[in-house]
């Protein structure tokens, strides 16, 4: 990618590292000198460094690793990293602060879409939908049979949420209202009595207790060192043999090798994953398993959600360049 310098020096220059919805670009172009990565692929480290030295603002995504070695380089021009996404573990916040670079995110816009995808994965995994579609598409379906591809009813089953933030609570509301599931959770901070009462949510003080009690375990915790491989061979051993694991949070939370072994040995029944440790690479062992539902990071992939995320990102930029504190500043 060739980085262009700003044509209109009176307006802030902005590099958008991945293609965004048209309505978002239209809004941004009204106020900024916008350059969009034409290849819509992750930028190389050299290109990211050049961008940090060329533009007033960057709008990165989770595919752009902005670590200390980049953010503490000499000659940086960038003043704000307006992240397109809620997660920001790909940005070294301490280094950004040292470099006097503001960091913002888009925390609210993807809640509904990701909660919906959580429900989708629960249903796909519990009813063996991916496996069934493969049977049909591969020409192996010979017709209806009473014991063919028997799954699990989720009504009355316990949905255990690891983390209890916005997305987890919205997934709980939908699972309870639409699917008749019972709700349990474990989180660093306990919810209010009113929130627990509204969802009839049972709080578990330990992760092991939640895992042992849940029929479906859904991960909604942040990424980073504190939660890396939170789900591993030891924690998987605490789950029921009939249980299902769902991950729409961050791939680093799950030890994929341990999960593949647990699924292959039927230590747990199934898993539904939307995120992976080494994206876009996906474990070959997981891909071979019929009881693993694998989606390509579709959590916020609706036009409405991605547009709302872009508008929230634009709000952060507008506040910053107007000399006001961005509404979603994280560093």
Active-site residue set: 250, 279, 297
**What angle separates helix 303-321 from helix 22-29, to the nearest 10 degrees?**
20
SS3 label, residue 253 = helix
Residue 181's closest CA among 215, 211, 154, 203?
154
Q: What angle is formed at CA 167 by the lines to CA 175 and CA 252, rounded to 5 degrees?
A: 110
CB 298 within 8 A of CB 248: no
Q: What is the DSSP letter of 43?
A: P
CB 256 within 8 A of CB 284: no
Cα 242 to Cα 75, 119, 154, 233, 268, distances in angstroms: 56, 18, 12, 16, 6
The residues facing 126 across adjacent strands are none
d(CA 293, CA 159): 18
Q: What is the dihedral of CA 192, 193, 197, 200, to 10 degrees?
A: 70
d(CA 56, CA 130): 45
Cα 2 to Cα 10, 37, 270, distances in angstroms: 22, 9, 45
């Amino acid at each position: 990618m060739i980085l262009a310098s700003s044509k209109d020096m009176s307006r802030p220059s902005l590099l958008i590292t991945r293609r965004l919805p048209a309505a978002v670009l239209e809004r941004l172009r009204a106020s900024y000198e916008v350059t969009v990565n034409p290849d819509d692929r992750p930028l190389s480290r050299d290109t990211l460094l050049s961008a940090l030295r060329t533009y007033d603002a960057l709008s990165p995504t989770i595919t752009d690793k902005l670590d200390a070695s980049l953010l503490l380089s000499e000659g940086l021009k960038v003043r704000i990293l307006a992240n397109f996404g809620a997660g920001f573990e790909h940005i070294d916040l301490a280094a950004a602060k040292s470099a006097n670079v503001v960091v913002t995110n888009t925390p609210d816009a993807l809640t509904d879409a990701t909660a919906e995808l959580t429900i989708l994965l629960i249903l796909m995994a519990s009813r063996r939908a991916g496996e069934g579609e493969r049977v049909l598409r591969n020409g192996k379906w010979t017709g209806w049979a009473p014991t063919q591809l028997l799954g699990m009813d989720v009504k009355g089953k316990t949905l255990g949420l690891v983390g209890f933030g916005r997305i987890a609570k919205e997934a709980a509301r939908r699972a309870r209202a639409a699917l008749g599931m019972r709700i349990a959770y474990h989180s660093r901070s306990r919810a209010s009595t009113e929130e627990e009462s509204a969802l009839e949510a049972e709080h578990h003080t330990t992760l092991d207790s939640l895992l042992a009690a849940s029929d479906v375990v859904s991960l909604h915790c942040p990424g980073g060192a504190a939660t890396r491989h939170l789900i591993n061979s030891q924690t998987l051993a605490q789950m029921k043999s009939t249980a299902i694991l769902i991950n729409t949070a961050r791939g680093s939370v799950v030890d994929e090798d341990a999960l593949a072994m647990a699924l292959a040995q039927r230590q747990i029944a199934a898993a539904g994953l939307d995120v992976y440790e080494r994206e876009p690479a996906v474990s070959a062992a997981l891909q071979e398993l019929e009881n693993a539902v694998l989606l390509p990071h579709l959590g916020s992939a609706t036009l409405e959600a991605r547009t709302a995320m872009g508008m929230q990102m634009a709000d952060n930029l507008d506040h910053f360049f107007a000399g006001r504190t961005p509404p979603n500043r994280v560093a």
